[in-house]
Structure 1
């Protein structure tokens, strides 16, 4: 199994790649879209949960690509597009330009066939707020397959501890490297599902924080 790393090390590798002119969000979104497309039938409704950071941008890129493939992709952006980081804002603009509609709340009676969890990724270090927790609880109640990007929302990426009631993923797709918390027996361990990694072509130090 590949090494896992502290969040700070993954962030350093990400910053270095961006400083070298690498555009990581399109690569991450494409990796997520490929992962989903290999596991769903045409016509399956996919709901991308896009949070207020770059994890949400990854989900937006994935939704845009899935829509272009002919899938029924939808985006829920609970915090709205204002305040998105630059790359995520570009991803949102791409989604809108492709004709995608952005939902601010769940549609009554709508249950997708698969959910992409792009709410928080490795950036969450405090318990889920009440509104976010309610959303996660609803998604968990659906019982549909969930692909979490980087880490399931509600899991501390460094410790593996649950920060509330995490989203329960069938698969977790980590970008660049797997966060250390995914390999630790924390209270969020049951939320991770199958762990997959796409390095996006970014090299990590061989010595990493392997668990």
Structure 2
């Protein structure tokens, strides 16, 4: 599949937002549709929501899945205070839907599916210890993971591992596939089966953002 640099994807995203498009609800709906096509309602889902817009995508998906009868819980490790504006609105929507949230992985029965919304294509530094511990715990469960945009712990441009990344069964890329998921190496290994939902956004010419 065609793949793009982070700069190219960011440019397409910025142009869509400048035109008045609201992308986060579309990303959440795309992720929820992806899950509904593969799992029956009453499936237990744990959504991991990080401190950026990737976390907002996970929260949007969680609220939609909860409304469709799935058993959904959210882990928001460092609280809603760090969320940017769009993700904060998604958090408010999750709360309004009656969703439950935790600061750490809940004890007890493992979920049937994990939504990885910790870090998206903007991650360019190694996972901190708390995030690494969370990724290690999810990997130890050995349950299916749907990564949103990119598995947490992967550099989306190079495909390099920024620590021990979450290992996904599927990765749902929004707008376009990141270059680092399509090259041989840790990125492609961690991503599992890659899918793309463009959210109706048209990618710019390569010359607009460079390769």
Q: Normalized against structure 2, the TM-score is what?
A: 0.96
- Aligned partner of 1:66 in structure 2 is 65
Partner of 2:172 in structure 1? 173
For residues 17 and 51 of structure 1, the distance between their equivalents in structure 2, rounded to whole angstroms, comes to 23
Aligned positions of 1:19-168 closer than 5 A = 19-168=18-167
Task: Name 1:6's counterpart in structure 2.
Answer: 5
How far apart, in 1, do the equivalents of 2:63 and 2:115 lie?
Answer: 12
Supply the distance in 1 between the matched residues of 2:31 and 2:95 (Cα, whole angstroms).
Answer: 19
**Number of residue equivalences:** 209
Structure 1 regions of 5+ residues with no counterpart?
none
The one-character-per-residue Cα deviations of 1:57-76 (angstroms, maximum 9, x if unpaired) are 00000000000001101110
**Bigger shift: residues 37-46 or 126-135:** 37-46
Shift of 1:206: 5.2
Q: For the Cα contact (< 8 Å) 1:50–1:75, is it kept in 2? A: yes
Partner of 2:121, secondary structure, is: helix
> TM-score, normalising length from structure 1?
0.96
Give deviations 1:121-142, integer Å, cap 9, x for gaps. Answer: 1011011111111111110011
**In 2, distance between residues paired with 1:46 and 1:142?**
13
Distance 1:107 1:32 in 2: 22
- Which segments of 5 or more consecutive residues in structure 2 lack a partner in the other structure? none
Whole-angstrom distance in 2 between the partners of 1:56 and 1:96: 14
SS of equivalent to 1:123 = coil
The question of whether the paired residues in 2 share the 8 Å contact of 1:137 and 1:165 is answered with yes
The answer as to whether partners of 1:159 and 1:186 remain within 8 angstroms in 2 is no
Q: CA deviation at 1:145?
A: 0.5
